[in-house]
Chain A
Amino acid sequence: MMTDSKSVPEQFIAPHLRDIPKSGIRDFFDIVASRKDVISLGIGEPDFQTPWHIREKAMTAIERGFTRYTSNLGMPELRQALTTYMKHAFHATYDWKSEILVTVGVSEALDIALRAVLSPGDEVLYHEPCFVAYAPLIRMAHGVPVAVNTFRKDDFRLTVEELEKKVTPKSRVLLINFPNNPTGACLTKADTEALADFVIKHNLLLISDEVYSELTYEGGRHSMAAISRIRDRLIFMNGFSKAWSMTGFRLGYVCAPAPLTDAMMKIHQYCMMSAPTVSQCAGIEALAAGNEDIVEMRDSYHQRRNFLVASLNEMGLDCFMPRGAFYVFPSIQTTGLTAHEFAMRFLQEYSVACVPGSAFGTCGAGYLRCAYATGMEQLKEAMSRMQTFLKTL
């Protein structure tokens, strides 16, 4: 007799997938969704409308019949524009014919990059707290996720000291994301140099997810793509979601040396064919005429960030000044509550949703992620409720 109590459908699910826990964010989402009139600081996407000229371009694209597959790599015009963009933004040279691949968001880029390079059992170093998809995507590619902690004392920047503690002969990839979701941390120039030395020393491939790079407020943008000595071991990825508020267009790209691009392309061509054509047309427009949009949105995020950080610190919640993305990551340790308890009570008693830092990795415990991709009116109201809540504790 079979002792396995799994139902017939369940028994067909691949064990490595079954073992991946449900996202902590997902649980939280279900609770928030069941309530009305919630002010949400839990949203990881811009609140701005996609700039009108970009939407208009998408409409024209449909009108003119750009509704078929494109080249697997993406439309030449878009890849050429990306070559120019990479040169301009990061002084990085990528050949549009062989080194740039247009993807269905950075999400797909992460997936195909990991699948292209991992063999079962390969270890991937990544830092926590981090984007919730990293560990699951590594597992789905049959890799072994190895979390490296980042700390408040370092403003959540990744240090070589911590990396050295976790690197083993099985380490094959280092996956990083700065400006960071959920902390807003950014790397300094010195950090990027140190990380470059580290990946060379241990012969690792570096995957750098820089999807928030346009949302850097001060201190300069320090991209891994700017460091030429790691060019042959770097897969750089970025997208249109955050910079131009184009999340629903599902558009991103990877830049990597031709052999790596080729390898990712093998997966992309069979599982995706090509990124949405209408979105690619919109992407061309964003790159050609979308700089002012970024400046306007960035200024607005910048002001909201200042407001949140000042308000939180004033209330006695320690919060460092993050230089990028649209998240602040205050510590709630002084309240004596866990992040989960805090977030739950704040939601249930005051109808404000923040995501507990623990959803982004164990070292996020004791922190909250507050996204400021939300209008000032809501941010003000949320902060005033937070103040009231703290007084009752």
Chain B
Amino acid sequence: MDPLLEMLKKNARESDAVLAKELGTTEADVKARIAAYEKDGVLRGFRALINPARIDDTTVHAVIELRIRPEREGGFDRLASRISQCPQVESMFLMSGGFDLMLFVKGKNLQEVANFVSVHLATIDGVLSTATHFMLKTYKDQGILMEGEHYDDRLQVSP
């Protein structure tokens, strides 16, 4: 992978000037490469990673396992594409193993998620079963630990 992408994955807020220095190139080159990645659909967005426990966020998150009936022509794709349009669905993956689709969904409260599952998902033709798991606490998200500050306990000057 292009080291520029690796660096953006670690910190998308890094300025182009600093990225250029780290890569030993010019700011203009960094800007051009980022623009090209955006145009080609490689870079799909830049977002903040927030620790929900540290803000007054009462949003409810759940993981839903879905079994669906594959179709003769499109396999899972037509149904999956349809389900992924629902705004409640934040992430969605086709899985190997005991179920087919894994959905990460969110709602204002438990009721809203429950409603989404029973009214919107379970009723779709081709959905065979659902299993909903509510998330209780985030320990780590996308490689970043949410709790426990990493403090630097090294001696402040050493040989």
Contact = CB atoms under 8 A, between A and B. Distances in A.
Given A133-B159, A299-B3, A306 B154 contact: no
Contact of A376 (B11, B154, B157, B158): B11
B21 A307 contact: yes
A365 B97 CA distance: 65
A133 to B, nearest CB: 7
A40 interface: yes
Contact of A42 (B3, B150, B158): B158
A36 B154 CA distance: 14
Interface string A298-325: 0100011011001100000000000000
B35 interface: no
Given A29-B157, A32-B157, A310-B24, A47 B18 contact: no
B158 A303 contact: no
5 contacts: A43-B158, A44-B158, A47-B152, A303-B23, A306-B23
B9 to A, nearest CB: 13
> Among the interface residues B14, B21, B23, which one has the most CB atoms of the partner chain A within 10 A?
B21
Contact of A43 (B6, B11, B156): B156
B155 interface: yes
Interface string B76-109: 0000000000000000000000000000000000
Interface residues of A, number: 29
Contact of A38 (B23, B156, B158): B156
Nearest to B22: A303
A23 B3 contact: no
Given A38-B156, A303-B23, 6 more contacts: A29-B158, A32-B157, A44-B159, A299-B3, A307-B18, A376-B11
A45 B154 contact: yes
Given A303-B3, A376-B11, A43 B157 contact: yes
B7 interface: yes
Interface in A35-56: 38, 40, 42-45, 47, 49
A25 interface: yes
Nearest to A24: B159
B156 A42 contact: yes
Q: Top 5 nearest A-B pairs by Cβ distance? A: A42-B157, A303-B22, A310-B21, A29-B157, A307-B21
A164 B156 CA distance: 38
A299 B154 CA distance: 22
Contacts of A141: none
B158 A45 contact: yes
Contacts of A311: 21
A162 B135 CA distance: 67
A247 B6 CA distance: 27
A42 B158 CA distance: 7
